[in-house]
Structure 1
Amino acid sequence: MIYGNIENPGDMSIYPEAIQRAVKYLKETDLVNKKAGVYELQGKDMYVQVLDLETASREDKKPEVHRKYIDVQCLISGRERIGFAVDTGKNKPIGDYNEERDILFYEECHGESEMIMTPGTFAVFFPHIVHRPACNDGGVSKIRKIVIKINKDIL
């Protein structure tokens, strides 16, 4: 997992090229005024989801994991808490893995830690990292977030 801020992402040369490209896109694109939706950056190998959401209680959000895509999540407005942990194989799935959506939900997440997302912060979740996005941090918040999906095969 990587955690940073688009205003000062640090030494970008240490990141794989696809992650560098995602962070550059986040830094250089007017994401406040971009219409909610999905936008291709490199076909299905790399695309952007612009999401307008409302946070909810931790209990109402289920931990999720992906197998094919890396998530680069960036908060544009609002405040959000995200839970995260290494997928140890000890989490009980809710249903089956949805290959089309590349998502598997868990009932709970063993060893979960949390981070606070404020505007400009980004987190990179690799396929072995379970995450629980869009949780309240002190109350419900309307948020705008960007999720850049990167096919792990292009790293």
Structure 2
Amino acid sequence: MIFGNVNNEFFEQQTGILPAPLKSALCFLKETDLAAHEPGRFDIELGGVPMVLQVLDLTTAPRQTLRPEIHRKNIDVQFLAAGGPERAGYYNDDKTSVVDEDLLDTPRDILFYKDNQDAPEGTIEMVPGTYAVYFPWDVHIPAIQTGDVPAAIRKIVIKVPMDACLGAERG
């Protein structure tokens, strides 16, 4: 997992060491005002690589109501464009979690796990401008509320094909 903010003074160095498709996705998020974009799912191409852009209007929720998820074919680049704050949970997929719903062989490329109380789950705090990059081995739980009150968020997700990053040139 990679975590950062597009407004960080080290953004250029941070993205410069990444495979070109990931750098393209993060630069697109920095350079494009998606807070006002219509919600939905869109096919896009960045740096010659076909990707999926999701513009989602969500409300954060208590952690115990959310299912851990993972993807196998795509790297999830998640970006908080507006609203929040949002907390995101994450842990390494060590294959000890129990599958709740397997949609990996569908266009969604997603598997939901049942909550695993024994997972060494960490959290990050997301504010507008913050991004998290989840690889196929990173179980993640997005849209967790902070504090006692749910918050409206504008979440942007770019699905970057894992195959496009393997052997790709660096930024």
What is the TM-score when the length of structure 1 is the normalising length? 0.94
Q: Could you say what the CA RMSD is over the residues aligned between the two structures, in angstroms?
A: 1.5
Q: Count matched residues.
A: 155
Q: Which residue of 2 aligns with 1:108?
A: 115
Rounded to whole Å, the distance in 2 between the matches of 1:105 and 1:33 is 30
The alpha-carbon deviation at position 35 of structure 1 amounts to 0.6
Which residue identity lines up with residue 129 of structure 1 in the other structure? Answer: D
Determine if the alignment matches structure 1 residue 41 to structure 2 residue 51: no
The alpha-carbon deviation at position 83 of structure 1 amounts to 0.5
Offset from partner CA, 1:51-88 (integer Å, 9 cap, x none): 00001110110000111110000001121111100000
The alpha-carbon deviation at position 42 of structure 1 amounts to 2.4
* Range moving further from structure 2, 4-13 or 28-37: 4-13
Q: Which residue of 2 aligns with 1:7?
A: 7
Residue ranges of structure 1 left out of the alignment (5+ in a row):
none
Q: Which residue of 1 aligns with 2:159?
A: 149
Rounded to whole Å, the distance in 2 between the matches of 1:96 and 1:22 is 26
3-state SS of paired residue (1:154): helix
* Range moving further from structure 2, 123-132 or 45-54: 45-54
Identity over the aligned pairs, expressed in percent?
Answer: 44
Which residue identity lines up with residue 46 of structure 1 in the other structure? Answer: M
**Runs of 4+ that moved beyond 6 A:** none
3-state SS of paired residue (2:34): coil
Rounded to whole Å, the distance in 1 between the matches of 2:80 and 2:102 is 29
Rounded to whole Å, the distance in 2 between the matches of 1:67 and 1:98 is 7
